Amino acid sequence: MNKRTIITGISAMFLLWSCGAGHGHTSDHDHDAHGHETEIHSHEADPHGEHGEEAGAGHSDEIVIPEDKAAAIGIMTETVTPGSFREVIHTSGEILPAAGDEAAVVATTDGTVSFAENYTEGAAVSAGQELFSIQSSNLQDGNRIEKARIAYLAAKDEYERASKLTGSRIVSQKEFASIKENYENARLAYEALKPSKSGSGVAVSAPFKGFIKSLAVKQGDYVTTGTPVAVICQNSHLVLEADLSQRHYARRHSITAANFITSGSDRAYSTSELGGKLLSVGRSQNEGEYYMPVSFSIRNTDDLVPGSFAEIWLLCAEREGVISVPQSAITEEQGVNFVYLKLDSQCYRKQEVSLGASDGQRTEVLDGLEPGDNVVVRGAYNVKLASASNAIPAHTHNH
């Protein structure tokens, strides 16, 4: 009886061990299968890498900016399309007043200067507006305008009297011609001395509408006839004068336009946009200089100032099939240039690029971009700031 009990107990223990071993094998198999399914899911979720960890690293430079935030900070993009690009000559130059756009105002008589108003340089003036009054009453010769007025009235009276007597031949034709000549000379002399508003001096007026570029006299200064007292400038047109070095002189015939940036400003201008035209290309250089002037006539804007220096890109022959981006699309970090690509509605990525020539508005991209890429052309700096805190290593734009 005891022997049967022992055999029964041993059999039960064997059965329990067999069940436990079978269950443990099944659990391990299920765990392996689950792990295999997870790995397949990871592969499917990231078609760009073999492992989930590698996939996360591949997207570590992505930046997420919601659409509403991107619109608020003014992010704009441009699709990369190869197009025409002009070869350039990078140089410098100056903005000058155009000939005929400024005029010197001179004294029309001798005397002391009295300002009509409290004028300063830069003040706007109208055509014919009185600028100065030249007083001569305190001089030895007396008040010239009063003397001219008296001479004019006397000549006028004599002329009118002689006109009535020519019919009766009391005054001969020869004598009448002389009287008429004296009258005309007196009239012209008096009218040339235009009375000032106060009537006590000779008015000096602005020749056209513009502004006072410079003042050459002070209140009370003594001037003689022909002395420059001011310069009035219209500034409706300007001249962009670029310095062309000798090594580029052979390319002078291919120059057609220019882009430029003035000192103290980041805004790029184009002579084409300003109605510009090429005026001349210098054929000789001054002694001791190594540049020849290239001059463009341009329409003035409110922020272009004559006398300011400019960084200039002279535009030459065109090349086709060139990838280029606006200057505003390019950022720089430690000497390396980058642009930002828009991947989808809210995903961006930093892209290193190699740059070529620049025409002042756009820059040639030699490597790093392909046709069809969507490049941030406005707001790139804001995307750069967002990349410092908004990179998400595990994110992918493939949903």
Terminal alpha carbon distance of the chain: 72
**What secondary structure does DSSP assign to 92-161, as a single string?**
EEEEEEPTTSEEEEE-SSSEEEEESS---TT-EE-TT-EEEEEE-TTSTT--HHHHHHHHHHHHHHHHHH
Nearest in space to 136 (alpha carbons), one of 230, 222, 206 = 222
* 12-21, 39-48, 58-67, 211-220, range with greatest mean pLDDT: 211-220
pLDDT digits (tens, 9 = 90+) for 155-169: 999 888 888 887 777
- The more confident residue out of 216 and 318 is 216
Across 13-27, 57-71, 214-228, 278-292, the highest mean pLDDT is recorded for 214-228
Q: Kindly report, residue by residue over 111-168, the tens digit of the pLDDT.
A: 889 898 899 998 999 998 999 988 877 666 666 777 777 888 899 998 888 888 877 7
* pLDDT tens digits, one per residue of 62-106: 889 888 998 898 999 999 999 999 888 999 999 998 887 888 999
- More confident call, 324 vs 61: 324
Long-range contacts of residues 288-293, Cβ cutoff 8 Å, at least 24 apart? 290/245, 290/246, 291/91, 291/243, 291/244, 291/245, 291/246, 292/243, 292/244, 292/246, 292/249, 292/252, 293/241, 293/242, 293/243, 293/244
**pLDDT attached to residue 108:** 84
Which residue, among 228, 216, 225, has the nearest Cα to 141 in the 3D structure? 225
Q: Which residues contact 76 (CB under 8 A, 6 or more apart)?
A: 376, 377, 378, 379
